[in-house]
Amino acid sequence: MARPEPSRRLIVTADDFGRSRSINTAVIRAHREGVLTCASLMVNEPAFTDAVALAQENPKLGVGLHLALLCGRAALPVQRIPGLVNQNGEFVGDPIAAGLNYYFNRALREQLRAEIHAQFDRFRATGLRLDHVNGHLHMHLHPVVFDLLMQDAGQLGIRHMRLTRDDFELNRQLTRGRLAYRAAHAMVFDWLSERAAAPLRQRGVKHTRTVFGLLQDSRVDESFLAQLLPRIPFGDTEVYSHPSLDGFRHELDALLSPRVKALVHAAGIQLIRYQDL
């Protein structure tokens, strides 16, 4: 019997769903009119309720949890997590400072666990199906945070997770500039993803082989997608973006682009959600 032809399946995700109405509107437009298949929901942000209502009106959109442990407000009160937030209940905005603090201060681990569970509880209360889990600025792959997530994966209902592993060599061929930035991020996240791969496999948590977007750093525009789509690898891949009506309008335009939609069709790419893996 002949082997089936290899296929290309692509998840197209918008991060920061729930952060603002501008982002929420862009996400729904990109899903209804463009190639967007998933959105990652921030449960502590001002437009969270609006995002949930929009998601309920668009049941084919795969909605996951965008776990936020820096930049923005926490789910728990200050008294429960005094080592994680300031007196206004806000996380530190510097990812390096947060990462070092979470790694070296062992006293914070149970506070992190409590906040993680609180954000999962808020997501669960929406009644939406948990399509996937990832983290704001990819903090879900931080060694301490990731280990906490894996320890409680069954309780939290984690079945799909972003394994943030971009293809540096392909990215280098497709785009120019900021080579040191891209090389450094590729090196760090290759290591973090390699560390995470075995625990995910042991727990049956599914992920794509490659994730594009990290090395573009909010520059997933039409030109980039037009170059990338014909070269998308066989198997399961994710492209993530940050569409909005204002700050990242170019990313919304890319997801709505007739040229991009035509290239998806021409390459025989099947658009899927994480839950379809």
Specify the pairing of strand 72-73 against strand 90-91.
antiparallel
Boundaries of every domain in the chain: 8-276
Structure-token match 């090389």, residue found: 183
Two tokens at 266? 């021409």
65 Cβ partners below 8 Å, 6+ apart? Answer: 40, 41, 43, 119, 120, 123, 130, 132, 133, 134
Q: From first to last of its 277 residues, what are the pLDDT tens digits of the chain?
A: 445 556 999 999 999 999 999 999 999 999 999 999 999 999 999 999 999 999 999 999 999 999 999 999 999 999 999 999 999 999 999 999 999 999 999 999 999 999 999 999 999 999 999 999 999 999 999 999 999 999 999 999 999 999 999 999 999 999 988 899 999 999 999 999 999 999 999 999 999 999 999 999 889 999 999 999 999 999 999 999 999 999 899 999 999 999 999 999 999 999 999 999 9
What's the pLDDT tens digit per position in 149-187? 999 999 999 999 999 999 999 999 999 888 999 999 999
For residue 223, CA distances in Å to 72, 177, 257 come to: 31, 15, 10
Is CATH 1.10.3720.10 the right assignment for the domain spanning 8-276?
no
Tens-digit pLDDT profile for residues 84-114: 999 999 999 999 999 999 999 999 999 999 9
* pTM score, whole prediction: 0.95
Longest CA–CA span in the chain (Å) reads 66
